C-alpha cells in the first residue's frame, strides 16, 4: 500500500474522475453529489488544500480531501471535507494510515463535520479529535 499526498502544484488531474467516482461510491450515505465532490477537489487547485490517496497496485483504496480555510486564529486552518476507504476493505487500517498522513502534512488545526451516528467518530477520537461545540446552521 502506498500513501501519496498532492497539493495545488502537483495535483493529479489524470486521476480526478476516478477520485470523484471513488468518493461518490465509497462515502455511501455520508456523501455528496459528484458535482459537489468536484468543487472540493477544485478548491485544492484554486485556493489550497491537500489530497491524500491510498493506492494499491495503482488502484485507489482510500481518499482524504482537505481544504485550507486561510482563516487561522479564528477558524481552524484545515477542513477535512471527505475521508473514505474502499467499502470492501474496511477495518484493515487504511483509514488510520490516511489520517496519520493528514495529520503529518496539514499544519494547524483541523475541523470536520460528522453525522452524530457515524461509527467513524471512533476513528477521529483515536486521533484526539473532540467536539466541544454544537454546530448551529440556519438553512436558507
Ligand atoms: C470511516 C472510514 C474512513 C474508516 O476507514 P477504515 O479503513 O475502516 O479505518 P481503519 O481500518 O483504520 O479503522 C480504524 C478504527 O476506526 C474505528 N472504526 C472505523 N469504522 C468503524 C465502524 N464501522 N464501527 C466501529 N468502529 C469503526 C475503529 O476503532 C477502528 O479500529 P479497529 O478496527 O482496530 O477497531 C470508513 O469506514 C469509511 O470510508 N466510511 C464511509 C465514509 C465516512 O463515513 N467517512 C467519514 C465521514 S467524514
User: What local confidence, expressed as pLDDT, does residue 48 receive?
Assistant: 98
Q: Establish if 82 belongs to a structural domain.
A: yes
Q: Quick check: 101 and 66 in contact, CB under 8 A?
A: no
Number of domains forming the structure of the chain: 1
Q: Which CATH number covers residue 17?
A: 3.40.630.30
pTM (two decimals):
0.97
Q: What residues have CB less than 8 Å from 69, skipping those under 6 apart?
A: 75, 76, 77, 78, 79, 111
- The answer to whether residue 97 is domain-embedded is yes
**What is the number of the ligand 1 atom nearest to the C-alpha of 31?**
42
Query: Is 139 inside any structural domain?
Result: no
Q: How far apart are CA 140 and CA 138, in angstroms?
A: 6
Per-residue pLDDT tens digits for 32-69: 999 999 999 999 999 999 999 999 999 999 999 999 99
Could you tell me if residue 135 is inside a domain?
no
Confirm if 113 and 135 have CB atoms less than 8 A apart: yes
The pLDDT tens digits for 73-83 are: 999 999 999 99
Distance (Å) from CA 9 to ligand 1 centroid:
30
Q: Residue 104 falls within a domain, yes or no?
A: yes
Is residue 83 lining ligand 1, measured as CB closer than 6 Å? Answer: yes
User: Is the CB of residue 78 below 6 angstroms from any atom belonging to ligand 1?
Assistant: no
The domain of 58 spans 2-126
Residue 133 lies in a domain: no
Amino acid at each position: 500500500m502506498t500513501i501519496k499526498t498532492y497539493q495545488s502544484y502537483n495535483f493529479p488531474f489524470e486521476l480526478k474522475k476516478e477520485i470523484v467516482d471513488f468518493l461518490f461510491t465509497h462515502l455511501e450515505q455520508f456523501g455528496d453529489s459528484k458535482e459537489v465532490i468536484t468543487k472540493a477537489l477544485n478548491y485544492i487547485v484554486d485556493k489550497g488544500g491537500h489530497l491524500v490517496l491510498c493506492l494499491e497496485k495503482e488502484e485507489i483504496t482510500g481518499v482524504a480531501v482537505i481544504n485550507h480555510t486561510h482563516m487561522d486564529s479564528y477558524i481552524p486552518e484545515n477542513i477535512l471535507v471527505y475521508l473514505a476507504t474502499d467499502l470492501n476493505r474496511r477495518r484493515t487500517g487504511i483509514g488510520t494510515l490516511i489520517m496519520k498522513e493528514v495529520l503529518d502534512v496539514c499544519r494547524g488545526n483541523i475541523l470536520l463535520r460528522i453525522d452524530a451516528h457515524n461509527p467513524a467518530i471512533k476513528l477521529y477520537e483515536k486521533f484526539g479529535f473532540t467536539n466541544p461545540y454544537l454546530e448551529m446552521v440556519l438553512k436558507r
